[in-house]
Structure 1
Amino acid sequence: MAGLSKLLGAVVAVSVFAAASASAQEVKHYRFAYDQPKDTGYGILADIFADKLKELSKGTMIIDQYPGAQLGQEPQVLQLVKAGDVEFCISASANAATLSPQAGVMSMHYLFRSEAHLIKAIGDPAVARAVKDMISDTVKGARVIALATLGLRSMYSKREIRNIADIKGLKVRVQATPTEDVTFPAYGAQVVHMPFGSVYTSLQTGVVDVAENGVNVYLANKHYEVAPVLSMTEHEANNSLVWISDKLWNSLTPEQQGWVQAAADDVNRTQPAKAIELEHQSAEKLKSMGVKIVTDVDKSGFIKVADPLLDKLASELGPHAVKVKDLIRAIK
């Protein structure tokens, strides 16, 4: 009897061990790459996604974050995601335009009227669906599962930019999209393309006179050290797309795909407001450090030039771009 008890005990122990081993093997880790530091809106996004996915999957799907361009700049990482070598990434909509030119619609100037409009538009399910459809129809190897934002972009330099006349003839580092290449010259500026990682040195050496980005990005990357005047032109949104490789997506069960999309939907709903809050906190920190923030920029000259370009540029980009533009403009 004692021998039987021992045998049963051993069987139970082996079964428990086998179950535990199987459970451990089911836990999978996935790379999530982005090019900004962790303490930015990208880090907020990645944390929301990782926490929700871990919760929904009961700890079987774990996100390993690679911030600060550890796996490469956004255009390179997008190619790695398409190839299935990286599972998830965040890209600016402007960099998404390297794969799908119509994504440039999200970077059009003064498409978003205010921070409140931006929060509402990025969180709108119809806008998210239209962008996902655009990527689905134009990109092979990867898909978009969520939209996010880092707030509105403004210009920074060694000088104040109080109106459109102040950037005439200046060399401005811009994102490499057709929308930027048309709009900034229409303001009278010269456009310069370069990877984000080169912006600091280029401002320092005078290769460019002006750069533009969100307040928190400006703070987190210490661009204020070489361009100590931030002029709140708020000319476009710093929008982002969350990508998953088709290789990973197609390997997931329908249940796992549901968890991934639900976690992404949580990003879409909650990240924009958190990112805007971070922008405001960053502005206060910059002021306390002595950075000059010009809040009373006369935007009317910029808007007068940019507004007629919205319909023109969207039409040139394509039907998906027109649909996204119209949906965003209709949101009150």
Structure 2
Amino acid sequence: MSCELLLRETALRFPRYASEGASITKLQKGGSDRSFYRIRIGDGDSLILVEYGESRPENALYAPLAEFLRKLGVRVPRIYGHEPKRGLLWMEDLGDRDLWAYRALPWEERRRLYFAALHEVFLLHANAPPRVEGIVLQPPFTCDLYAWEQSYFFENCLGRFFQGEGQTLRRLAKEPALREIAERLSLFPRRLVHRDFQSQNVLVRDGEVYLIDFQGMRPGLASYDLASLLFDPYVALSADRRAELKEYYASLWKASGRSMPEDLTEAFDSVAMQRLMQALGAYGYLGLVRGKKEFLRYIPVAMRLLAEVLGRIPGLEPLLAYVENLASVR
């Protein structure tokens, strides 16, 4: 739909945007298959309009999930209007500053924002029921999904990006420890997780943080969200800062009087491996198949983080050596 038509649709739903001074600007938004627009009246009110197609059904879940999260006390954008049959969503404009935008500031200034982000996702982990009434969520994390993440990494990162030799990659992909990790992680109790909890999906406005891009929410492990933020290749936090953030997240469970999820202590490195493999697969796919080359620059950082994690997982020494070699030459 053209910008002119989108502006007209907005004016029909929100008459104050029928002003001659109303403007529409298309925004750039990472690897999303959605189109984002800012509609503004002069220098005053503004909102965000999202246009999405039918290729990814989860996009239609954004509005109902936003309302669900708000009821849990999680800060998310307010939804102003939604027409799922037409793939149009109007929501609160929280600005363009995400957690990633603060990456150059001293840690003393960023710490509070990271703590706040962890508090928001903790509210989801701790308070959400196992099912969301009236909403069909994305399929839960299972052994098959963990195995798919591993295959995604081998195919799109090691194969497509690094051009690894096929026989070598097939041998590494069949390491028994990888299947054992997928099977073991699938046995931990699941709770609702964001699924893509990283620095570019946390907006900051007036010192408060808000979660976005939660349409992929599904039953999984709390440690997956935690690892997504702590091992975020977009920012690459130091080991000391990761340890500090992990300790803070654990303190939230302790302060709540609830038992911390077992996967946070018993399987965190394995979950971090899974998340990094998923991210690396996505970078390779988005960069080389979808033509979004900007994602390729994060592969070297993510490979170094993956090597660090693999070094703490027994049984994956051959894969560790392979990843370390690639990480050292890129």
Task: Pick the TM interval, shorter chain.
Answer: under 0.3
TM-score normalised per structure 2: 0.28
TM-score normalised per structure 1: 0.28
Rg bigger for which structure? 1
> Relative contact order: is structure 1 or structure 2 higher (C-alpha 8 Å, sep ≥ 6)?
1
Structure with higher strand content: 1
